[in-house]
Amino acid sequence: MSRPLAVDRHGQILQTLEAQGSVSVSDLAERFNVSMETIRRDLKLLAEEGRLVTVHGGAHRLSNEPSLSRRTIENAEGKAAIGRAAAELVDDGMAILIDSGSTTLALAQALTNRGDLTVLTNSLPIGLLLARTKTIKTVLLGGEIEPNDEAAFGLDTLELIAKYRVDLAFIGAGGISETGEFTDYTRLAAEQRARMAAAAKATYVLADYTKFSKRTPVPIPIASSIAALITDQLPKGEPATEAAARLWPIRLAGSKP
């Protein structure tokens, strides 16, 4: 008795996955008239090839598509406006430093059609994005990668930052405290952002309006002054809003280009 080709099954599994987003082991077993074990072996194989990810009970397609990672960003429009506003501050020939984060990623996207720039970043998505332009010289500040940020943090990163001097630094923040200070989730991240600021002649903080209502534990110890906070809107009623306005110059990014 001849046996149906396993590759056909694999192809159809991937095709189904493409259409439906996810598949279950039991459905596939029934559909192809094979045992669940066989389907599991198929999925395991395809997962090893990086064509899907297995989950309990089945598999789903990998969410590597840039559309998805962008789709999940909170307040994407506001962040894009901030990114465009920040990009206007960057002149040709400058060396700049871009911190990790979704807001700073928007800045990087606004810079992709530029040339003659040197950009230092600890963010993998930003580094990859800018390197692909082939016109922007990109330096990745390496170190241990924090999976949630998809960026490098740690001793190595701090040492690398110390080796460079840039014209501008664009840093993010985890939140803004009632006293108007920028705060972060961890001591390390806060220190690293402070060092980034110290390596630049001028530092801009990029934070969209959602940050005004977020409280994170560690203040970022910024020694030098901040050139400005760039944000999209100032929420009224938040104590952080007025306190920050007293401490730093604020630039409001125009929403539409």
Partner DNA sequence: TCTAAAAAGCCACATAAAGTCACATTAAAG
Partner DNA sequence: CTTTAATGTGACTTTATGTGGCTTTTTAGA
List residues binding DNA (CB under 7 A). Answer: 1-4, 6, 9, 24-26, 33-38, 40-42, 44, 54-58, 254
Sequence-distant (≥ 6) Cβ neighbours of residue 128 within 8 angstroms: none
Q: Are 199 and 165 in contact (CB under 8 A)?
A: yes
Picked from a copy of itself, DNA, none, the partner binding residue 152 (CB below 5 to 8 A depending on kind) is: a copy of itself
Smallest gap, in angstroms, from Cβ of residue 232 to DNA? 14
Q: Both tokens of residue 126? A: 């930003």
Binding site for a copy of itself (CB under 8 A): 2-8, 11, 21-22, 24, 26-27, 44, 47-51, 54-58, 60, 64, 67, 69, 80, 84, 109-110, 112-113, 122, 124-125, 127-129, 131-134, 137-147, 150, 152, 156-157, 160, 163
> Tokens at residue 230, please?
């760039």
Torsion of CA 131, 134, 139, 144, to 10 degrees: 20
* Residues 6+ away with beta carbon under 8 Å from 102: 73, 74, 79
By the 10 Å C-beta count (0-12 exposed, 13-18 middle, 19+ buried), 93 is classed as exposed
Amino acid (1-letter code) at residue 194: A
| Distance in Å, CB of 97 to a copy of itself, minimum | 13
Taking the CA atoms of residue 241, residue 243, residue 248 and residue 254 in that order, the dihedral angle to the nearest 10 degrees is 10
Minimum distance from residue 201 beta carbon to a copy of itself (Å): 21
- Give, for 97, the enclosing helix (H) or strand (E): strand 95-98
- Residue 42 binds what, of DNA, a copy of itself, none (CB under 5 to 8 Å, by partner type)? DNA
Tokens 């929420």 locate to 235
Which one, 40 or 214, has the nearer CB to DNA?
40
Taking the complex as a whole, how short is the minimal distance between the CB of residue 250 and DNA, in angstroms?
Answer: 17
Question: Would you say 52 and 46 are in contact if contact means Cβ atoms under 8 Å apart?
Answer: yes
Pick the closer one to DNA by CB: 2 or 64.
2
Q: How far is the CB of 214 from a copy of itself (least distance, A)?
A: 23
Q: Which does 127 bind (CB under 5 to 8 A by kind): a copy of itself, DNA, none?
A: a copy of itself
Q: Kindly tell me which of 64 and 223 has the beta carbon lying closer to DNA.
A: 64
Nearer to DNA among residue 50 and residue 223 (C-beta)? 50
Q: How far is the CB of 186 from a copy of itself (least distance, A)?
A: 16
